[in-house]
Amino acid sequence: MFDTVLVANRGEIAVRVIRTLRSMGVRSVAVFSDADADARHVREADEAVRIGPAPAAESYLSVERLLEAAARTGAQAVHPGYGFLAENAGFARACEEAGLVFIGPPADAIALMGDKIRAKETVRAAGVPVVPGSSGSGLTDAQLADAAREIGTPVLLKPSAGGGGKGMRLVRDAAVLADEIAAARREARASFGDDTLLVERWIDRPRHIEIQVLADGHGNVVHLGERECSLQRRHQKIIEEAPSVLLDEATRAAMGEAAVQAARSCGYRGAGTVEFIVPGEDPSQYYFMEMNTRLQVEHPVTELVTGLDLVEWQLRVAAGEPLGLAQEDVRLTGHAIEARLCAETVSVKEGARGFLPSGGTVLRLHEPEGDGVRTDSGLSEGSEVGSLYDPMLSKVIAYGPDRATALRRLRAALARTVTLGVQTNAGFLRRLLAHPAVVAGELDTGLVEREVDGLVPTDVPEEVYEAAAAVRLDALRPRGDGWTDPFSVPSGWRTGGEPKPVAFHLRITDPVEHTPRGTHTVTEDRVAVTLDGVRHTFHRAADWLGRDGDAWHVRDHDPVAASLTGAAHAGGDSLTAPMPGTVTVVKVAVGDEVAAGQSLLVVEAMKMEHVISAPHAGTVAELDVAPGTTVAMDQVLAVITPTDDGAKETA
């Protein structure tokens, strides 16, 4: 076994790997960019090495700096986690050439399975069923469009390199193929440095089921059962569970054997995952999608139902040990479900901001634990969440003897999750897990998008404004026994008239004037209000309130000041940044005539693109950004002056 392992990653997965290294008595070395100098994974490792500035390209993606860090600290092996360089064959080869053990599969297996086109051809030859789609690599835009028309819409555009749903585009209308192919190439190039695409038939209402495999260097390969990953948004998993309620024992065994054959076909070694698309009406008709040649984000659910530590097995296999585990030794016991906690706004009230990356400083943090609950996290109070890295912050996992128990425990754990200072999707995930279709196990990859309107809040509850006003009222109350200026007492007293109830102007989404009318209890980290006989308790930190996984950033609103500022960009003529990020595409110039709904700009954050469209027909009067401009949330990007008919023609 190794004495020292360098963890070439950050955030929750780095903390997760370090935990197993510690339990095995192996010394851990963390790496960090300038943005992560005080991050949790840095503090928890035995040693940490700075590897460069904040941009990933100059730090976490720098093979040279990672290898130098390993040499400086005497590391014998490198664990890549997931993301960044985990599925980079060049990095695996560079580790080997530097005399380091790459804790993952051989470079040739990474290269083969990382190319989705070659991977499909390889596993098809091994007898594994694959999704119908384009064949051949390096197809032009025209060839991709022709292949899509031949298959027939709807089709799915996918980057040949990489994974995680990035760059994937579902196209139902052949008329928009050109635009969607161009956008998919941009995302693929930005995420993976390779814009090669393939196109596959889209299976309506499919289930996404994956099989975990383990292989050693002695010819042994086993599977550890399946994970159901059908609850997705924008082709990215948000809830995963093991086992799947869809599969019977015969189908589970058949899919497991197919996954084992896929692993054997590429000479696999280590922990890997074979992903299948499965028609919900006939699970026996499953198709290979791809193989992820790394540890998956959702690996904890497999660990909980099998009792195996997958990171430990990665280390043992990389150190040359045989599995010592036959297929008949694998038992699935109980049920486990995982929710991915991401930094993002979740509100239809905020229009375009719904489900966009968020950021900020974690002012108050409470991560759930207890019977059957596990949290894998890279957060701590004071953590800065920016737009440079993936928005996933942590994972909350619940285990129970059956699915109903696991669901109940996970919903309760999400309700106890507090991350004030950064908007997250915890409340949304809790509501999703209570949806009747989810409770019944009637899942498919489109369920979240279909039901999203019923899962996000359309209004801010009155008790939130009551709690915010209570905090402000409490701050105005006299403190101590000394003399009190009567004009500073929040009594509503005024000269020449009856006392007027104190009112506060607050803003969460739209400005609201609120007069406290209930009873309140305010402490340093809590506020409780009683309205109509119901007591509501919130966590609080600075201008943030939180309850049941939801959080609200409450700002004071001065209507007088608002009327005097921002007049030049008032109303719906201005286009502002819906999230902090970088402008990647500018399609117009000052003076251009635009139509309502026309795509004008693209802002990217956390490897996610957001298109900024014209709110109405008009003329580009101002354009304050160019490709490469870094923008803050709410920063004005452009101003569109409506034409005579533009005010009537809206997007």
Q: Domain coordinates of the chain in residue numbers?
A: 4-103, 132-201, 207-454, 462-478+499-560, 567-642
537-569 pLDDT per residue, tens: 999 999 999 999 999 999 998 887 766 654 344
**Which residue did the predictor score with more confidence, 571 or 90?**
90
List of residues 6+ apart from 436 with CB closer than 8 A: none
Q: Is domain 132-201 in CATH 1.10.1370.30, yes or no?
A: no
| Better-scored residue on pLDDT, 223 or 282 | 223
Give the residue with greater pLDDT, 561 vs 345: 345
Which fold is adopted by the domain 567-642?
OB fold (Dihydrolipoamide Acetyltransferase, E2P) (2.40.50)
SS3 165: coil
Torsion, Cα of 89, 92, 93, 99 (10° steps): 180
What b/e sequence results for 89-113 when a residue is b if at least 16 CB atoms lie within 10 Å of its CB, and e otherwise?
Answer: bebbbbbeeeebbbbbbbbebbbbb
- pLDDT per residue over 359-395, tens digit each? 899 999 999 999 999 999 999 999 999 888 889 999 9
Q: 154 preceded by cis ω (within 30°)?
A: yes
The phi-psi region of residue 287 (left if phi > 0; otherwise alpha if psi is between -120 and 50; otherwise beta) is beta
- For residue 353, give Cα distances in angstroms to 200, 321, 548, 633: 31, 50, 21, 10
Distance CA 197, CA 158 (A): 6
Distance CA 354, CA 352 (A): 5
DSSP category for residue 587:
-
**Per-residue tokens: 377:** 């996290």
Q: Decide yes or no: CATH 2.40.30.10 for domain 4-103.
A: no
The rounded distance, in Å, linking the Cα atoms of 462 and 538 is 13
For 296, the token pair is 């998956």
Distance CA 421, CA 649 (A): 38
At residue 443, what are phi and psi to the nearest 5 degrees?
Answer: -105, 155
CA 240 to chain centroid, in Å, comes to 13
Name the band, by pLDDT with cuts 50, 70 and 90, for residue 646: very low
80/7 Cα distance (integer angstroms):
6
Res. 253: pLDDT tops 80 = yes
Copy the structure tokens of residue 323. 């599995």
pLDDT-derived band of residue 480, with 50, 70 and 90 as boundaries? low
CATH topology of domain 207-454: D-amino Acid Aminotransferase; Chain A, domain 1 (3.30.470)
Q: What is the pLDDT at residue 572?
A: 57
pLDDT at 613 over 50: yes
CA angle in degrees (0–180, nearest 5) for 221-227-232: 135
CA angle 187, 188, 193 (to 5 degrees): 120
The pTM score is 0.85
Over 60: is that where the pLDDT of 651 sits? no
Residue 78's contacts (CB-CB under 8 Å, 6 or more residues apart) are 5, 6, 7, 8, 66, 70, 95, 100, 101, 102, 103
Q: How far apart are CA 351 and CA 325, in angstroms?
A: 52
pLDDT at 351: 44
CA atoms within 13 A on the CB side of 638: 30
Q: Cα 581–586–587 angle (5° rounding)?
A: 145
Fold match between 4-103 and 567-642? no
Q: 262-271: b or e for each residue (b if 16 or more CB lie within 10 Å)?
A: bbebbebbbb
DSSP state of 3: S
Beta strand 4-7 with 27-33: parallel, antiparallel or unpaired? parallel
- The structure tokens 């280590």 sit at 270
